Amino acid sequence: MSSIGRSLRVMDLLARRGSMGVRAVAQTLKLPLGSAHRILLDLAEESVVERTPDGEWELSYRLLEISGLQLDRIDLPRLVRPYAEKMAAITGETVNLNALTGINGVCIDKVRGNEGMQLDWRIGSRGPLHAGGAGKALLAYLSEADQERVFAGPMLPFTEKTITTPKALKAELIRIRARGYSLDNQEVVMGVWCVAVPIFDRAGRPVAAISITGPAEKREGAEIEPTVLMLTEACAQVSRRFGFGGEWPRLEGPKRKTA
């Protein structure tokens, strides 16, 4: 049996039985004592198990955190759908919900508007974070380490408008954090513009983004403020449901321009 398989058996045992000593774990699973001890130490390094005051081993918070994130992702389309339907009806454009997975975004739901020309990603489609409104909205609030993974590329172009250099992308992320939303100026499809706002979890991490996408040109300023306000209010409500308790909108740097 692989080490992963034995680790899963240990976690399953502790979930079923509660705290146990290393000898009891080894005997129950018919593992060598040294192997059981090594597995428990490895799991402890990842905060999956921890020692009790009595010296036994029990499951820690890590699995709850992982399962909670998965449940949040499953529940996310249901939470966002009423807001998406309202925004699509008002704007006539497509509202997309993109979730973060690794250093990519994946479309997990969408509501089409009534405009003819729209950026219509298939549900389940993955996209890089360096291009498009939702991708950049997520990227702007990721950790520096994750951002560096994106900067390391390749950052391939979709159109002549796609940002493909780390220097230009870093400057764009500063602007996004300063105003609280991202803009896609025909970066993925020529003739299609997008505005997006991120959704945060209880730890302040970006987990998803809602975007409004279509043929209407979107530029920073007073004209786009009603659209930004709709997105900001929707993402605020969903982020609160995810446990985010920080200041909203989440702005960093110079204040957002309004004209």
Q: Say whether pLDDT at 70 is over 70.
A: no
- The pLDDT assigned to 67 comes to 67
pLDDT at 259 over 50: no
For residue 153, list its beta bridge partners.
none
How far does Cα 102 stand from its chain's mean position?
Answer: 8
> Taking the C-alpha atoms of 40, 42, 46 and 51 in order, what is their torsion angle to the nearest 10 degrees?
30
Give first-to-last CA distance, the chain, whole Å: 64
Percent of the chain with pLDDT over 70: 91
Other CB atoms within 10 Å distance of the CB of residue 83: 20
pLDDT tens readout for residues 2-26? 888 999 999 999 988 888 999 999 9
Q: Are 112 and 118 in contact (CB under 8 A)?
A: yes
Q: What is the pLDDT of residue 74?
A: 61
- How many CB atoms lie under 10 A from the CB of residue 174? 13
Global model pTM greater than 0.85: no
pLDDT digits (tens, 9 = 90+) for 25-68: 999 999 999 999 999 999 999 888 999 888 999 988 777 667 66
Identity of the residue numbered 111: V
User: How many whole angstroms separate alpha carbon 113 and alpha carbon 120?
Assistant: 10
Residue 110: phi and psi, rounded to 5, are -160, 155
All structural domains of the chain: 3-60 (1.10.10.10), 68-241 (3.30.450.40)
pLDDT tens column, 96-139: 999 998 889 989 899 998 766 555 667 888 899 999 999 999 99
Q: Is the pLDDT of residue 146 over 70?
A: yes
Q: Which amino acid is at 217?
A: E
